[in-house]
Structure 1
C-alpha cells in the first residue's frame, strides 16, 4: 500500500476522531509537508480539504436522516461550536444544518464520498534520470491555482505569450514552475534569463533555482494527462523513495506543440531526501 492509500485508509478509519495533519503524516511514515503535496497530486485536492469535506458529508447524511441534535452532529464532525459548524456546512453545501434536517435538497456533486484506495489515477513511470544543474533564474507570469478547481493554467500561458522575445531569454525553452503547495499552489509560466531585465514589468515574477541535483521524469502523452504523471511522481515515487518534495518545474522545448498538446515534457524535481541527503 502506497503512502496516499495509507493516508486515505487512516482518514476513513479515524475522521470522526478529528485527526490532525500530523496524525495522518505519522500514520503514513512521511513528513506532513511531503504528505500534503503527495496527496494533492494523487487525488486532486489537499488532504485537509478532503478530511473536512468527508466530515461534512457524513454530517449532512446524519442530519438528512433526522439526527435530533445539530450540536451533537457538529461535535461528531470535529467542530466545537454550532456557529463554526454552520458556517463550514453552508460553505460546503449552500444550506444550513437546520435546512438539511428539514429535507432541503443539495447538489449531490457537493458530497465527498470516500475515495477508493485504488481509485487514484497515476501514470506508469520510467526510472528518472539524475541530472545536475547550475543555478538559474526564471521570470514569468504567476498565480495561485487550486487542484480541485477549473484548469486555468493554459490561460496563464496565453497571457504570458506577449512577453516572449522581450526579456532576453534563453530561446527554445519554456518553464512551468510549481511550488508553495497549501490548499492551493503557485504556478508560473516563464522563461530562463541570464539576468533579470532592469525594466522588468511589475506584473512578472522572478524565481531563482539554486545549483542542485534533480530527478528528471518524462511525460510523453497528451498534456491533458500531465496530472497523472505528477500524481505518480509525488504520490508514489517521491515519498516511497524517501525524497522531500520541493519547488519543481516543467520544461518544454521546441519539440512540444502547444496546439496539439503533444511532443513530450520533462518534469525536474530537486533530488533532496527527507533527511536532507542528496
Structure 2
C-alpha cells in the first residue's frame, strides 16, 4: 500500500474516533508506522503536529455541536475529551476567540477541515535521490531528549559553546550530522548535534554523548537552499513523491541531516538528508 493511501486510511480512522479515545495500535496497523513515527511524518507532510490537528478537529466539531444540537455544554465538553466545563471553556475560547455560550448564540467560530493527503510534486520538479548502504558508524556530540523540533538549532549552539568545529573535526573526518533517533513521544523528538568520529575514547573524555549507528540502507536526498527551508522541502518530496513511487517507507532507524561546509543561509548551500528505508 503506498504511503499516501495508508496515511489517508489512518486519517479516516482518526475521524471516526474524533470524539473518543485514539487506539495507537490501530494507528500503527493502518499507517505501517508506530504512533510517534506517524505523528512525526504527519507533521512533515502537513506542517502541523498531529496533536494540534486532532485538537483543532475536536474543537471544530464541538462548535458545530453547539450550533446544531441542544446538548448541554458540559456534555459536549465530555464528548470531546474535556473533564470539566471550565477546561473546555478555556480551550474553546483560546481556539475560537469566543466562549461556548457565545458561539451557541451566534458568534463566529474557526473551522479546521479534515486533512486529505495527495501527491503534490510531480514531473519537472525533482530532487536527486540515491539509495546507499552505509556501514555502521559512531556519532559524538550533544544529545537532547524529548524536545520540540523547533529547538534543534539550540542543540548546535550548545555543542559549539563547548567545542569549536576544528576540535570536533579532529575526532574523525570533520563530517557533521544532525540526528533524529528513537522517536517515542508523538509530540517531541530526540535530536543529536554531532560529528562522525573515529576516536571514540577521546570523544568520551571530552564528555560528549555517543550514539552507535548500525549499518543501514538510506535514501540520500541531495538538497540545495537555505536551512531549514530546504530540509522541509526535502522531507516533503521524499514522503510525497519518492516513497509512493518507489515503494519504500521510513524504517524507524535514526535519520540524518548531513551538513557540508558553507553558508547555511545561502540559496546555493548544499546538504543531504539520509533517510533510512525499507520496502513497504
Q: Secondary structure at the match of 1:82?
A: coil
Residues 99-121 of structure 1 show CA distances to partners (whole Å, capped at 9, x for unaligned) of 532569xxx9x967125425897
> Which position in structure 2 is the counterpart of 1:100?
100
Distance apart, 1:166 and its partner CA: 2.6
Q: Does 1:228 align with 2:243?
A: no
Compute the displacement of 1:212 (Å).
2.4
Provide the TM-score with structure 2 as the length reference.
0.72
Matches within 5 A, 1:249-268: 249-254=256-261, 256-260=262-266, 262-268=268-274
5+ long unaligned stretches in structure 1: none
Partner of 1:139: 140
Name 1:161's counterpart in structure 2: 160
Secondary structure of the corresponding residue to residue 35 of structure 1:
helix
Tell me which of 205, 211, 219 is aligned to 2:209: 205
Partners of 1:68 and 1:13 lie apart in 2 by 20
CA distance in structure 2 between the aligned counterparts of 1:120 and 1:101, rounded to whole angstroms: 41
| Kept after mapping to 2: 8 A contact 1:66/1:101 | no
- Please, which runs of 5 or more residues in structure 2 have no aligned partner? none
Q: Is the 8 A contact 1:42 1:120 kept in 2?
A: no
Contact map agreement 2:60 2:110 (CA 8 A) in 1: yes
Query: Kindly tell me: are residues 76 and 13 of structure 1, through their superposed partners in 2, closer, same or farther at Cα, counting changes over 3 Å?
Result: same
Q: In the aligned structure 1, how far is the partner of 2:260 from the partner of 2:9?
A: 37
Q: Identify if the C-alpha distance between structure 1 residues 116 and 37 changes in structure 2 by more than 3 Å, giving closer, same or farther.
A: closer
* Mapping for residues 176-191 of structure 1, pairs under 5 Å: 176-181=178-183, 182-191=186-195
The count of corresponding residues between Structure 1 and Structure 2 is 259
Shift of 1:42: 1.0
